[in-house]
A = this chain, B = another copy of it.
Amino acid sequence: MNCILLPAANFSHPYAYINTASQIEHVNKVLGAQVGDTLKIGELGANLGTAIIDSITADKIQLSAVVLNIAPPAKLDVTVILALPRPKVLRRLIMDMTALGVGHIILINSYRTQKSYWQSPMLARLDEFVLEGLQQGVDIIVPTINLKKRFKPFVEDELASLITAGAIVAHPYTELSLAAYLQQQQAACFAASIPLVSANTVNKALPTVVCIGAEGGWIDYEIELLAKQGCQAVSIGPRILRTEAAVNVIMGQWLLHC
């Protein structure tokens, strides 16, 4: 928790209060903060800033001198389409994608997504995982999360409209590597005489849709259907990573504009 995010209802300029147990515990136990200390806070959907602790009780921390003058970091210009993973790893995946700044997340069915995953109580806790991710990543803008329980209708009817500048699907068993794909895109920018050492240029080379499978990846039928809609299959090399690790490795390319 690198900042404490509060809903608009907890603010009354220049005051605010913390009344969520996990946040109060964090202030007390992890930060060991005292009355008079400054906290990093944020208002959900608004700005980041600071406040001073006025009083601490078991169920409420009163804040004063609230200043919210720091804009949140930019979101990554990408939609991640993720095959719904095992409930056990869903929390960390949503946290990590949120902390990384993914703006749009679509959880989709896939052949290797077990039906029981869609009944998991974890799916009712997505807002909580998003809040954890925002507080980890120091952001206040909630990503959109959509659930698509039917793979084929989504891919055939909705996916194309999301692809504005290229799309990839991570697939361990494919020849083209993500590195080679990005280099091709960079080379195309270079050929068009766009200066290469520029974050902006590199941004242009990054696709705006990334599809990532769950454990076991996509089956051939899924890869073919995604390819028909314009998703280029790319691998991250001969090594196969856990879904969480793969998401961070791949999205790291966006985070680092590289």
Chain A residues at the B interface, C-beta cutoff of 8 Å: 2, 73, 95-96, 99-101, 136-139, 177-179, 182-183, 186-187, 190, 196-197, 199, 236-242, 244-245, 248-253, 255-258
A-side binding surface: helix, strand, loop or mixed?
A: helix
Query: Please, which residue of chain B has its CB at the minimum distance from the CB of A73?
Result: B238
| Chain B residues whose C-beta falls within 8 Å of the C-beta of A179 in the assembled complex | 199, 256-258
- A197 and B184 alpha carbons, distance in the complex (Å): 8
Let me know if B99 and A239 touch, CB within 8 A: yes
Let me know if A137 and B239 touch, CB within 8 A: yes
Let me know if B73 and A239 touch, CB within 8 A: yes
**A253 and B255 in contact, given A240-B137, A245-B99, A248-B248 (Cβ under 8 angstroms):** no
Shortest distance from the beta carbon of A90 to any chain B beta carbon, whole Å? 15
Query: Please, which residue of chain B has its CB at the minimum distance from the CB of A132?
Result: B242
A-B contact pairs, 12 of them (CB 8 A): A73-B239, A96-B241, A101-B239, A137-B239, A138-B238, A138-B240, A179-B258, A244-B244, A245-B248, A248-B248, A249-B252, A250-B252
Let me know if B240 and A2 touch, CB within 8 A: yes
Let me know if A256 and B236 touch, CB within 8 A: yes
Q: Which of A2, A182, A239 has the most CB of B within 10 A?
A: A239
| Chain B residues whose C-beta falls within 8 Å of the C-beta of A241 in the assembled complex | 96, 99-100, 136-137, 248
- A101 and B255 alpha carbons, distance in the complex (Å): 21
- A248 and B247 alpha carbons, distance in the complex (Å): 9
- A100 and B239 alpha carbons, distance in the complex (Å): 7
Shortest distance from the beta carbon of A80 to any chain B beta carbon, whole Å? 14
- A248 and B244 alpha carbons, distance in the complex (Å): 9
- A237 and B251 alpha carbons, distance in the complex (Å): 13
- 7 closest A-B pairs (Cβ-Cβ)? A249-B252, A248-B248, A73-B238, A252-B252, A137-B239, A179-B256, A2-B240
| Chain B residues whose C-beta falls within 8 Å of the C-beta of A96 in the assembled complex | 241-242, 245
| Chain B residues whose C-beta falls within 8 Å of the C-beta of A137 in the assembled complex | 239-241
